[in-house]
A and B are shown apart, each in its own frame.
Chain A
Amino acid sequence: MRHIISILMENEAGALSRVAGLFSARGYNIESLTVAPTEDPSLSRMTLVTRGTDEIIEQITKQLNKLVDVVKLMDMTDGPHIEREMMLTKVRAEGDGREELKRVSDIFRGRIIDVTDKTYTIELTGAGDKLDAFLQVLDRALIIEVVRSGVSGIARGERALKL
């Protein structure tokens, strides 16, 4: 099953490589990984998407907790949570196609953030499957480049990952 694990870790050089190294050394897979400092600059927050059986996920969380730089972690998928990913898509937008692209972007609540006479750059935020759906309706030949941020997640309600 797919799990979103959020990790608070010491904002030290090398902390990211400890997590990445753990995953490769133990053969766990990483679907996506994002990391940035939090409002407390001594802490980084990492969001990691992985897949595995319950046993593997249990091992992953134990092994992550064992890393000395990891302060605290939470498996978002244990409870109700919100998942968001941002995607920037640059598409060829010429002639009659320009209108159609604008409409599709609106349907998905995308925002066109850069325009030239030949291209649009569309910013889209949502859960991963929404972004996938958007890409599917676009004509592949029109896509110039796609940049995805990787998943961020936060628990709903009172549940929170904080010190």
Chain B
Amino acid sequence: MELTGADIFVHSLQDEGVEIIFGYPGGAVLHIYDALYRQDKIQHILTRHEQGATHAADGYARSTGKPGVVIVTSGPGATNAVTGIATAYMDSIPMVVFTGQVPTHLIGNDAFQEADNIGITRPCVKHNFLVKDVRDLAETIKKAFYVATTGRPGPVVVDIPKDITAEKTEYSYPDKVSMRSYNPVHVGHAGQIKRAVKLMLAAKRPMIYTGGGVILGNAAGSLTELAQLLGHPVTNTLMGLGAYPATERQFVGMLGMHGTYEANMAMHHCDVLIAIGARFDDRVTGNIEKFCPHAKIVHVDIDPSSISKNVKVDVPIVGCVDNVLKAMIKLIKGSKQRPDGAALKDWWQQIEDWRSKDCLKYDHTSELIKPQYVLESLYKATDGNAFVTSDVGQHQMWAAQFYKFDKPRRWINSGGLGTMGFGLPAAMGVQLAYRDETVVCVTGEGSIQMCIQELSTCKQYALPLKIVNLNNGYLGMVRQWQEFFYQGRYAMSYMESLPDFVKLAESYGHVGMKIEKPGDVESALEEAMAMKDRLVFMDFITDPAENVYPMIPAGGGQNEMILI
């Protein structure tokens, strides 16, 4: 049967198994919206801004592992989506973003609401497509999902001119698609895996360092098995939290700029580093010249270009993390060699020594609310079981330090791009995927205002998010750097005229709470969590002078942390 491009679009998404899409209508996508209106299999979530739509789809993807799907109109619709696309790109999140485009004959004419979407998004997508013929539409959509979700995942943009959505052709959705230029690797090199296992078994001061790749590759189970088989300490990056249970003894905390002392010291002193699905980001390595000076490095990653990009490694292994870890487990189980128990015992003693510094300690006697205390209380109030999204800044670091994630896909934050405004819309995407779960957005008064309009979306779709606003009146991380490195010249890091967040939440139809005393923190959180069907905006007035510790200052090595 012949269908219009708009109907082909909708049928293709249905056949792809898409259940929910996030978007915002406009002139160039009107045919598509009309086709969406005439069906009821796919739910469309109307956000208040295209950035919100992309972050919501991103949160949905991070929490479920399924690709997030977005539709926006041409011109400003697409340019507003760019921040969300770039955010997903930096963290390798599978997403397919459909952008409207002016009709084919007007492309290049500076038409109304025309932008070069392909050109603008090129540096921040895994790949993008311009559909030039309605007969290519279904196959292009199939390719977009295939590219977005395989190999190292990432966002894919499909730009669809308006006339294509009106033209008709026969519809058939391909079951499979293959591209001669795109063949992601699945299985790691057997010889390299053998070399790696040999190093791991012989290690005297081993360290397992894992990143977002373990979560994206659904390899948390294999990682836990491997680490426990070996008895090695495990650290996770900001993106990797939850890949190894944080309450387990072998977990030494997050590493990097605001990681724990024990994690960073163990990195610095280890003799074998096993990096899995991590990319040696500058916030992790600190000064690259001083990084892991004594270690032989094994690096498992699905993306060959991640290997030896920042740090030269000794045993590179390209492949799906889960496949490689399973192969390692099999080899270790079949090997006569056991880990060096005596050496590991000494190593653990050393690590416990570092751990005893209690690097995350803070003042419990203050009359002001300490943000760390809010996070600790949140952890208790949610039994450590919530999905937690965050924005970017001090609150993000405190959430990462103090909320102990035992499961993957529970900690949702913009690690790579560091996008303020991410937390609230991302939480919406999570809540839409998990209607009955507790979803918390940890944010600050700076970040929350960057996508505050989405409170309206939350009302429309009855999303009972719990927003924990750590309100210190400052752009806290900027303030902290200005205190440390700019002699306290607080240029533009103080916000005057903040809104009354309680009234603001109420005006959107939600519950607002203001908490000003440490003694009220726990009861407020409990009260909020008990309101299962309402969005509660908790405005915690916190100590404005609190800083995130410990910290590796810029240019420092991992053994040069500033402790409180």
Q: What residues of chain A have their CB less than 8 Å away from a CB belonging to chain B?
A: 9-10, 13-14, 17-18, 21, 25, 55, 58-59, 62-63, 65-66, 68-71, 163
Contacts and interface: CB of A to CB of B under 8 A. Distances in A.
B305 A66 contact: yes
30 contacts: A9-B181, A14-B118, A14-B130, A17-B119, A17-B122, A18-B122, A21-B122, A21-B123, A25-B123, A55-B308, A58-B308, A59-B305, A59-B309, A62-B304, A62-B305, A62-B307, A65-B304, A65-B305, A68-B126, A68-B127, A68-B147, A68-B179, A68-B181, A68-B182, A69-B127, A69-B181, A70-B181, A71-B180, A71-B181, A163-B180
Nearest to A15: B181
B543 interface: no
A63 B147 contact: no
Nearest to A62: B305
Question: B119, B303, B305 — which one has the most chain A CB atoms within 10 A of its CB?
Answer: B305
Contacts of A10: 181
A71 B181 CA distance: 4
Given A68-B181, A70-B181, 8 more contacts: A10-B181, A17-B122, A21-B122, A21-B123, A63-B305, A66-B304, A68-B147, A71-B181
A9 B130 CA distance: 17
A71 B304 CA distance: 16
B357 interface: no
A55 B147 contact: no
Given A18-B122, A25-B123, A66 B181 contact: no
A14 B180 CA distance: 18
Nearest to A66: B305
A68 B178 CA distance: 12
A140 B33 CA distance: 65
A71 B303 CA distance: 16
Interface in B97-139: 118-119, 122-123, 126-127, 130
B478 to A, nearest CB: 26
A41 to B, nearest CB: 15
Nearest to B309: A59
Contacts of A9: 181
A60 to B, nearest CB: 10
Contacts of A18: 122
A14 to B, nearest CB: 6
Contacts of A68: 126-127, 147, 179, 181-182
CB-CB nearest 6 A-B residue pairs = A62-B305, A68-B127, A71-B181, A62-B304, A68-B182, A25-B123
Interface in B276-322: 303-305, 307-309, 312
A68 B123 CA distance: 13
B312 A55 contact: yes
Given A9-B181, A13-B130, A14-B130, A66 B303 contact: yes
Contacts of B123: 21, 25
Nearest to A24: B123
B417 to A, nearest CB: 14
A130 to B, nearest CB: 35
Contacts of B303: 66
Contacts of A69: 127, 181
A9 B181 CA distance: 8
Nearest to B304: A62
Nearest to B306: A62
A69 B307 CA distance: 21
A70 B305 CA distance: 14
A66 B130 CA distance: 19
Contacts of B179: 68
A18 B182 CA distance: 15
Nearest to B125: A68
A62 B307 CA distance: 9
Contacts of A17: 119, 122
Question: A21, A58, A65 — which one has the most chain B CB atoms within 10 A of its CB?
Answer: A58
Contacts of A59: 305, 309
Nearest to B147: A68
A90 to B, nearest CB: 34
B97 to A, nearest CB: 16
A70 B312 CA distance: 25
A68 B180 CA distance: 9
Interface string B164-191: 0000000000000001111000000000
Contacts of B119: 17
A62 B279 CA distance: 15
Nearest to A25: B123
B295 to A, nearest CB: 19
A22 B118 CA distance: 14
B305 to A, nearest CB: 4
Interface in B36-53: none
Contacts of A71: 180-181
A17 B119 CA distance: 8
Contacts of A70: 181
A71 B179 CA distance: 9
A55 B180 CA distance: 27
Nearest to B124: A25
B513 to A, nearest CB: 45
A66 B147 CA distance: 12
A58 B180 CA distance: 22
A163 B180 CA distance: 9
Contacts of A66: 303-305
Contacts of B309: 59
A59 B303 CA distance: 12
Nearest to B151: A66
Nearest to B312: A55
A162 to B, nearest CB: 12
Interface in B352-369: none
A58 B310 CA distance: 12
B231 to A, nearest CB: 34
Contacts of B182: 68
Contacts of A58: 308
A50 B181 CA distance: 23
Contacts of A62: 304-305, 307
Question: A14, A66, A71, A163 — which one has the most chain B CB atoms within 10 A of its CB?
Answer: A66
Contacts of B181: 9-10, 68-71
